[in-house]
Amino acid sequence: MTLTLKATFHSSMRILLSTALMLGATAAVPAVATKAVAPDFTLRTMEGPNLRLQEQRGRVVLVNFWATWCGPCKAEIPGFVELQAKYKDDLVIVGFSVDDPADKAKAFAAEYKMNYPILLGEGREDVQESYGPIWGIPASFLISKDGKVCRKHLGIAPTSVFEKEIVA
C-alpha cells in the first residue's frame, strides 16, 4: 500500500469505528477460546530494543492492539497497568500501538503511566493480520505460558475478566 492509500485507509477505519460507536455498537465480541500457537513476531519497542513474542514463553502474555485516538483503548489501559503491577512475575502485557509514530506513542504511554512494553506497529499490518482479522480496536489476545492463544477479546473488556483469565 502506498503511504497515501494507507493514510486514507486508516482515516476511513477511524470514521467507521467512530460511527459504529455512536450508533451503539459498543459491546465486545465475547472471548473465544482457541488453542492455536500464537503467531510469533519481533518488533521494536518504544524504548528501542526488540521484543520477540516467542522469548516470553514461560509467562502469560497479553497482547493488546490499541491506538492513541481510540476511546475504548484509553478506558482499558489503566486496568492493564494495574494487572501488570500486580502480576509482574508471571505476566507480561505487550501493547501494540497500531498506527502511531514513536513520539506520539511515547507521550501517550507517559500520560497513562504504561508500565509494560509498547511495540511500534506503524507499517506492520502483517502482525495484526496474523492475529486477525482485527476489524477494530482494542483487540486483546491472552497467550498461555506454552505460547498458545487461549482467549481473545475483540473490543473492550473489564479488567476483572482479564484478571480471571490470567490467573486461570
Alpha-carbon gap, residue 123 to 110, rounded angstroms? 23
Alpha-carbon gap, residue 10 to 4, rounded angstroms? 10
Joined together, the cell numbers standing for residue 66 give 490499541
Query: Which of 60, 73, 120, 157 does the annotation list as catalytic?
Result: 73
Count of helix runs (H) and strand runs (E) in the chain: 5, 7
∠ at Cα 27 (23, 30), nearest 5°?
150
Which SS3 state, helix, strand or coil, does residue 89 take?
Answer: coil
Query: Which of 70, 105, 114, 149 does the annotation list as catalytic?
Result: 70
Say how many CA atoms lie within 13 Å of 62 toward its Cβ. Answer: 29
**Active-site annotation holds for 150:** no
What amino acid positions are annotated as catalytic residues?
70, 73
